[in-house]
Amino acid sequence: AQSVTQLGSHVSVSEGALVLLRCNYSSSVPPYLFWYVQYPNQGLQLLLKYTTGATLVKGINGFEAEFKKSETSFHLTKPSAHMSDAAEYFCAVIYQKLVFGQGTRLTINP
């Protein structure tokens, strides 16, 4: 069965610092991979997705993620955190159905 693991349920960084949110998946075939963001009291919205082709994927709000097949990883990064990035982030993988990781809450310190 497909599974997604997000390392760290809570990540805290200073404003302007690098954001790194980790995601590993279990799959024997190349999956489709997604990162979603959830702002407080809102639904999820798509940050970026990997389907095929270039392994470095750029998304909205300056986020990007790199698909590494050998490491079965799809980590999310942003070079410089902004206060507005505070939210919960979900990694998800789809083979037949969408399977979500448990989420990582990102806090930005001023």
User: Which stretches of the chain bind other proteins, using CB under 8 A?
Assistant: 4, 9, 32, 34, 36, 41-46, 49, 51, 90, 94, 96-98, 100-103
Shortest distance (Å) from residue 85 CB to other proteins: 19
Structure tokens at 51: 């389907």
- Residue with Cβ nearer other proteins (18 or 46): 46
- Residue with Cβ nearer other proteins (26 or 80): 26
Shortest distance (Å) from residue 15 CB to other proteins: 26
Structure tokens at 46: 């798509």
CB 98 within 8 Å of CB 2? no
